[in-house]
Amino acid sequence: MLYVAVRAARRAGDIIARAFDERADFKVEEKKDRDFVTTIDRKAEQTIIREIQRHYPQHGIVAEESERLNPSSDIQWYIDPLDGTTNFVHGYPHFAVSIAAWKNNRPLLAVVHDPIKNETFEAQAGNGAFLNRRRLRVAQSVHIGHAIFASGLPPYRRKEMIDVFQKRMDACMREAEGYRRGGSAALDLAYVAAGRLDAYWEAGLCAWDIAAGVLLVQESGGIITDIEGRTVDVEKGEVLCANAKLHREFGRVLKGC
């Protein structure tokens, strides 16, 4: 299954990279306020779905731009064909293909592929996480004052979340060393798994944004929960992840915000 996911991600990534490099004439639509989709998103997604259905026609599929398929299946694939569409549209080279398979609400495998850097993050439950076949471990920082964390702005359509986000951001920036906003939740999670970021938290996400990253973080030795410290529910779309020590520290800071 992992081989199928990696192949699908790379084929979709080739479509995205070619369009980005050539600045192809693609159509941009606004699905909701400041929520964009391009014809490249849709083309990449259909490429992934065809690859999965060719091998596993009975599996369920939850994809950003398509109707849900086989929702009663024990195995569900979560697909984000282009996580970071806004970056892509603006010519900012930071976006990824994200694919995950979950069985009975537990992650089985994960792939996050950056087609511009040609980096493929992958994991299987119980077998570790890897970047281009190099084993990944989360950063080992223990002091929040030396930590770089990432987060993202709340969705424009969720204006009620802005005040909470600002409180959380203010609390974290007063204690951490630095903040980064990449614009791709899938890559933020992959970067925590790779030790490039010390921590990441965000709310208001979609299941396909985080389904792959959950397993990458777990298999690289990290802790991932929702912001309150409970088990991650991908449908809720809220995460906090870091190594065990920093997870406690950021959880402390975020508590009550």
- Do 211 and 106 contact (CB within 8 A), yes or no? no
Provide the pLDDT for residue 250.
98
Provide the pLDDT for residue 29.
67
Radius of gyration of the chain (CA): 17
- Do 149 and 198 contact (CB within 8 A), yes or no? yes
- Beta strand 148-150 with 199-202 is parallel
Provide the pLDDT for residue 198.
98
For residue 111, give the nearest of 29, 205, 193, 201 by alpha carbon.
193
User: Could you read off the pLDDT of 83-126 as tens digits, one per residue?
Assistant: 999 999 999 999 999 999 999 999 999 999 999 999 999 999 99
In what helix (H) or strand (E) does residue 173 lie, and over which residues does it extend? helix 162-173
User: SS3 of 218, please?
Assistant: helix
Query: From CA 142, how far away is CA 178, in angstroms rounded?
Result: 15
User: How many other C-beta atoms can be found within 10 angstroms of the C-beta atom of residue 172?
Assistant: 21
Q: How far is CA 156 from CA 68, 174, 240, in A?
A: 24, 25, 21
* E strand residue ranges, the chain: 28-32, 35-38, 60-63, 75-83, 96-103, 106-114, 119-124, 129-131, 134-135, 148-150, 178-180, 199-202, 223-225, 239-242
User: Could you read off the pLDDT of 233-253 as tens digits, one per residue?
Assistant: 999 999 999 999 999 999 999
Helices (H) and strands (E) in the chain, counts: 7, 14
In the chain, the amino acid numbered 128 is G
Provide the pLDDT for residue 65.
84
User: How many other C-beta atoms can be found within 10 angstroms of the C-beta atom of residue 242?
Assistant: 27
Q: What stretches in the chain show pLDDT beneath 70?
A: 24-25, 27-37, 156-158
Q: At what angle do helices 162-173 and 244-254 cross, to 10 degrees?
A: 120
- Do 209 and 80 contact (CB within 8 A), yes or no? yes
Model confidence, pTM? 0.94
